[in-house]
Amino acid sequence: DAKTTQPNSMESNEEEPVHLPCNHSTISGTDYIHWYRQLPSQGPEYVIHGLTSNVNNRMASLAIAEDRKSSTLILHRATLRDAAVYYCILRATMDSNYQLIWGAGTKLIIKP
Amino acid sequence: DSGVTQTPKHLITATGQRVTLRCSPRSGDLSVYWYQQSLDQGLQFLIQYYNGEERAKGNILERFSAQQFPDLHSELNLSSLELGDSALYFCASSTILASYNEQFFGPGTRLTVL
């Protein structure tokens, strides 16, 4: 399975945009890019996913590089509630072995 | 609230014992996944069930087993417990089989083996 690389931690100020990078240089053509986040003492929660085109939803935006070897999760206006560990995960679309391979993620710290 | 429930919330037991963790998926979700999260680590996929049948296995030890019942709830059985089994165990559910579908996670069961 293709793996992802993320910075261990990032800091941002409240009410400013946050760009969380993810490298996935061995991504295959059928791998979706997923982002989940895990708030302290909670289970992970889905944020967004995409394949080739940039994606937007109420929580965030996902910018995918043209060669798909990297992507960036964008939180447009971070709040204290966005402090969490953010996981970038790849998963093949038609793979019968349905595993999400989780890395260590990026711990996002929001400063008031 | 994701709609996925897990019981118990906390479990403290001794080495060598056996425990059962329970998960009720969101209403209508047929697919259930089990994950293990050790301290400050990412999640490790253990096993997936779909409509009562095992569909995928990850890094699940032979001492661990799971099943999904006709009412779609699932149980994860951990036996001959070791200190290293202490972790958070999460259950997730999704509507369909495909793993690119969004997974909804429960609050987890924190297992402490003494």
List per-block mean pLDDT (blocks of 10 residues) for chain B, which spans 114 residues: 94 98 95 90 88 89 97 97 96 77 92 97
CB A2 within 8 A of CB A99: no
Averaged pLDDT of chain A = 90
For residues A56-69, average pLDDT:
94
Q: Which of B42, B106, B107 sits opposite A87 (nearest CB)?
A: B42
At residue A96, does pLDDT exceed 70?
no
Q: A–B: how many Cβ contacts below 8 A?
A: 60
Residues of B in contact with A48 (CB under 8 A): none
pLDDT of the residue at A102: 80
Distance in angstroms (rounded) separating the CA atoms of residues B105 and B94: 9
At residue A2, does pLDDT exceed 80?
no
| In the block, residue with structure tokens 């001794």 | B14
A100-112: pLDDT as tens digits: 778 889 999 999 9
Distance in angstroms (rounded) separating the CA atoms of residues A32 and A70: 12
CB B89 within 8 A of CB B7: no
Name the burial class of residue A96, with classes exposed (0-12), middle (13-18) and buried (19+) by CB atoms within 10 angstroms of its CB. Answer: exposed
pLDDT of the residue at A85: 95
Asked if B42's CB is within 8 angstroms of A104's CB, the reply is yes
CA distance A65 to chain B (A): 19
Q: In chain A, what percentage of residues exceed pLDDT 90?
A: 72
Please count the CA atoms within 13 angstroms of the CA of A64 that sit on its side-chain side: 23
Residues of B in contact with A34 (CB under 8 A): 100
Q: Which of A36, A91, A99 sits opposite B58 (nearest CB)?
A: A99
Please give the residue that has the higher pLDDT: either A93 or B17: B17
Residues paired with residue B19 on neighbouring β-strands, in sequence order: B78
Q: Which residue of B has its CA nearest to A34?
A: B100
Distance in angstroms (rounded) separating the CA atoms of residues B68 and B29: 12
Closest CA to B46 of B55, B36, B54, B37: B36
Query: Which of the four pLDDT bands, split at 50, 70 and 90, describes residue A91?
Result: confident
